[in-house]
Structure formats: structure tokens, C-alpha cells
A and B are shown apart, each in its own frame.
Chain A
Amino acid sequence: MREDLRALLLVTLWDVRKVARYKVFLLMRFAWFIVQVSVFAVLISYLVTIRSLGTSGIGYYEYYLFGAYTALLFSISMFRGYEIAEEFEEGIIEYQLSLPIKRRILAIGRTIGGGIASFIYTLPMMLFILLLLGITNPVLIAIAVLSALAFSIGIVGLAINIVFGLKSGDKTDILFGVVDALLVRLSTIFYPLPFLSVFPPYFYAAMYNPLSNMADFLRALFFFQDLKIFIHAPPENLVSYIVGLSVGLSILAMLFIERRVEGGGWK
């Protein structure tokens, strides 16, 4: 057990230690995010007016910020898939499969490590919007951080399943593009759910979309009273979805790697 925990920690570190290597990438994403939420979000919030909800003036701007953050967290978590694809091409996966580590530990470690790394990439962005919104409640911030981490781990689990399943750079690129486009668009990232009811397929796709659940949970966490008419489920349901997603996709990655994955075959 102790041996397994040690191995898990080391495998997790494999991904986490890479964060420092992408300083420029991180800086560019952060700069772009600042522009997005400081300029474009303000402009678009002028275009979208929510009739008075009898609240403290919370409007589309606040709604948009959590959507933008969730979309970013999703994209960066999916980006782990491209990194793993690169590792396949360089033979790193074969090296890791040969190490004295249980396959399930390898799978869980890579999923958690990838999730933590992706979350760390987006932490400055999260802190920035919390700063913009003047949120200082440490308990709520801690819950937001943990939920974002759980979401990130789940999405990395999804990416690992796709990459290990396809074992093809071209197919990975295409499928990731499709998944990214569909999940970001068919969600409540930028469009509140009640407005989607005119297109029932869109409405239901958005309701069960992981990005909708994550973004809506963050909205509910900080502005439940103000934004509750846009949020399709109580916060406890939303967070259960996120935790379920994280655990489910991690277990799927674990089973897949343990039973099916072998080296070679990468094109």
C-alpha cells in the first residue's frame, strides 16, 4: 500500500513538474484571458441585458466570466491529450509501461497529475476573476478550487481514454477538435439554459454537458441568489455530477490502461 502511494505520488509528479516548462505558454494564455475578461466580456455584457432580478446588479458579465474560465480549464485539460500523444510518439508511454509500477497506479497517477497540472495552469485565471468580482470568502474559494481540480481530472481522464484508444496523432487531432467544438458550444458556457429551450436537442445536450455543470456550479457557488434562474440544478447536484465525472472517467482510464493498453502501434 505504501509502495503504491509512493508510486502514485511519483507518477503524479511526472505531469506536475512539467508546469514550469511552459512558462511562456502560461503567460500568453494568462495575457489573452485578461484581455478576454477585461475587454470582450465587458463589451458583450453591454449587448446582453438581463431584466432586473431584484438583486444586487449581478448580470451577464458575471455569468460570462465563469463560463470563460470553465472553457479555458476544459481546453487546457484536453491539451494534456496532445502532450500524451507526443509522449506516444517519443516512446515515453512504452518506457512508463515497462516501469515497476502497477498499471492502475500509472493510469490514476497520470490522470491526477494531468488534472493538477492543468488546474495549476488555470489558477492565475481563476484568481484573476475572483479578484475582479471582489470575492474573498476563503471557504467558497477553496470549494471552487477543489471543484475545478475535480473537473480537470475528469477531463484529463477523458483525454487519456481517447489518446490511448486511438493511438493515432491524426485521429486524435480530429476527434479532439470535434469534442472541443461540440462540448464548448453545446453548453451553458455563454448561453443560459432557459434560452436554449427553443431548441430541445441543444437544451438537453447543454443540460448534461460537463462544461455546463462546472460553469453553473461556480455561478451557483458565488452568486446563487442572483443567477439561480439560469442554473438548471441545485449546487449539490452539480457538484455531484463533477465528482462523478472525475471518478468515473479516472476509473475508465484505469481499467482501459490496465486491461487493454500496450506499447507500439502508434502512427
Chain B
Amino acid sequence: MEPAVEIVDLVKRFGNTIAVDKLNLSIYDGEIFGLLGPNGSGKSTTLLIISTVYKPTSGDVYVYGKSVVKNSDEVRKYVGIAFQEPKALWVDKPYEILLWHAMVVGYSMSDARKVVRQVMEDLGVWEYRNKMFSELSGGNKKKVELAKVFIQKPRLAIFDEPTAQLDVITKHQVWNMIEDLRRNGSTIIVATNEMSEAERLSDRIGIMYRGKLRALGTPEELKDGIPGGDIIEIIVDGPVRESFVEAIKNDIDAVRIDLKDAVIRIYVNKGEEKIARVVDMFSRGGLKVRQISLKEPTLDDVFFYYTGAKLAGDNN
């Protein structure tokens, strides 16, 4: 697949702080790429370099083959970004902001009026078009920021935490609009802290932590990449011998097995492929299985695994 974005040995320093540290990454044409990472992991800095707002300290980014260092004017023709924090002056009015934006990205005045109205209606902010920006709620400010990209329909659309501050209904609406944008030919990069958002939208996900890319793959690949990430939980009637547990462990190459009373937890990779074998072994071992379930890791687990981050009070 042709890369829409190719990041090569990218480094960005702010004084003594390294925000992005030797980042290498390819984002393919037509995909939705989720960039995950905790606050301060370098996601936003990376996106701002792709959109030519920041200059790299070293390394380069190629957007459809054009360098952000040498051909930044060309790169900007391809890129549209919705910033994490909405960008407007307090006295600005949403309709004026978006009409100006639409014309800057190439619409004629009459087309600009139409597309601005359409997108504002889709996002439910048309009724606020003539209010001052400072009078809008946080969610509506965010919608105005998102509207810029939906109006622009750029070849490379970048969303930095697109649904932060939005209610659940609007979140789904925005996700649908992002998917529509991709169907119409855009490549999408979504930076987010929300695992559900990344999982819902992304073809592939990159996890950044402390300026580095810690993991890359499809959501399924990332989940399968956690050693012992799947848990097969079995409740049986009667006691289970240690030797039987050891036999299962060896047979299905389990990472770990916990046995407590009648509950057995088997930590394994690709549990969906091994569950039938486990049931068969229990059956042949004369143990009656009362209940069996397979728990796959969530993207939260993936995130914690790759970033080494822990929830407050979580000792596991």
C-alpha cells in the first residue's frame, strides 16, 4: 500500500525536553490510523509537524511524497487539521469563521455558503452561527473546530482528540462523519486517549509513549500481542489436580494458570483458537465443566501493557 505519510527518524525538542524521539512510522493511503498515547506522549506534536505548524528538530515527514521541511507549502495543500483546542478569537462568530475557512480551502463564495450550512447542520451548530465564540459551550466550540475539516475534505485529515467534550450521541455522529470522509477518499489520522474511539474507528493503531512509538498494528494484532492477554475462565465441579493443570499448561502453551477452588484461569495467547482444546482436555480428564468463558484483552489492557502505565491503586 502506498504511504500517505512517512515519518522518518523524526525528532522534536523543546529546549531540553524531547517531545518526539526518533519516530519512524508509515500511514497508508485511505486508512484510518489511530494514534494513542497518554497526555504528553508526543501525539499532538507529531500531528503538528505533519501539518507543518511545527518544524522538526531533525528527521523528516513526507506527506504524499512531499517533505514538510523542504516542501511545506505543497504539504499544506493535502492536509487539514482539527486541533485539540478549538482555535478562534472570543469575538469571532462560527459562521464567519467557517465561511472564511471554506474560502481559504478553495470554495467559491456560493459553494462556501452551502457547504458551511450543510456541515453546521450536520453537527447541530447551525442555530449558533451568529453567536460569539466565547458564548458557545465547550462541546459546540469543538464542533466548530471539527467542522473545518469536514468542510475542507482534505486528502489527509487529522483529528486531535475529536470527541473530547462531546456527548455520546454527537460522538457517534462525528465518528460516522469521519468514516464518511474516509469513504470519500481521505486518509485519516485520529489522535485520542479514548480506547473505544480508537477501536471503533481505526484500521491500525500506533501507541506512543514518551515520544516513541511503542506498538503498531491492527486492534486485533495489538491485543494478541500481549503475552497471555486472553483469559479462558473455567468453573468445574470437583477438585482439580495440580498435575492436570500442569498438563494443560504445557499442551496449549499457556503463559500462566491460576487455580482457586473450582475456578481455573488460563492466561494464553489467541485464546479463541485454544478454547476447544481446553474443553476437550477437561472432558477427557473426567472433569465436568459448569461454565467456560473467554475474555479478550481490551485496548485499555493493550495501552497499559505497552506504556507501562498503571491506574492509580492498581497493583496488577
Residues of A within 8 A of B (CB): 7, 10-11, 13-14, 17, 21, 86-87, 90-92, 94-95, 97-103, 262-265
Contact = CB atoms under 8 A, between A and B. Distances in A.
A142 B81 CA distance: 43
Given A17-B96, A103-B72, A7 B104 contact: yes
Identify which of A92, A100, A102 gathers the most chain B CB atoms within 10 Å of its CB.
Answer: A100
Q: Nearest 10 A-B pairs (CB), nearest first?
A: A95-B87, A263-B53, A91-B87, A100-B76, A98-B51, A102-B73, A97-B53, A262-B55, A100-B77, A94-B53
Interface string B50-66: 01111100000000000
Contact of B85 (A10, A11, A91, A103): A91
Q: Which of B14, B76, B81, B106 has the most CB of A within 10 A?
A: B76
A10 B14 contact: no
Contact of A21 (B76, B88, B91, B105): B91
Contact of A100 (B53, B91, B105): B105
A199 B54 CA distance: 48
Nearest to A101: B104
B53 A90 contact: no
Contacts of A17: 96
A103 B91 CA distance: 25
B71 to A, nearest CB: 11
Contacts of B105: 99-100
Contact of B83 (A14, A86, A91): A91
B52 A90 contact: no
21 contacts: A14-B100, A17-B96, A87-B89, A90-B89, A91-B83, A91-B85, A94-B48, A94-B83, A95-B83, A98-B51, A98-B53, A98-B76, A98-B81, A99-B101, A99-B104, A100-B79, A100-B104, A262-B53, A262-B55, A263-B53, A265-B14
Contacts of B166: none
B86 to A, nearest CB: 8
B103 interface: yes
Given A98-B48, A99-B105, A262-B53, 9 more contacts: A10-B103, A10-B104, A95-B83, A95-B87, A99-B104, A100-B104, A100-B105, A100-B106, A263-B54
A98 B103 contact: no
A14 B48 CA distance: 23
B57 to A, nearest CB: 11
Nearest to A6: B103
Contacts, number: 63
Interface residues of B, number: 28
A10 B100 contact: yes
A103 B103 CA distance: 17
B92 to A, nearest CB: 9
A260 to B, nearest CB: 9
Interface string B209-221: 0000000000000
A17 B103 CA distance: 15
A83 to B, nearest CB: 9
Contacts of A90: 87-90
B260 to A, nearest CB: 52
B19 to A, nearest CB: 10
Contacts of B89: 86-87, 90, 92
Nearest to B89: A90
Contacts of A264: 14, 48, 53-54
Contacts of A100: 76-77, 79, 104-106
A220 to B, nearest CB: 40
B78 to A, nearest CB: 8
Interface in B106-143: 106
A97 B52 contact: yes
Contacts of B72: 103
Contacts of B103: 10
A91 B89 CA distance: 9
B5 to A, nearest CB: 15
Contacts of A103: 72-73
A98 B52 contact: yes
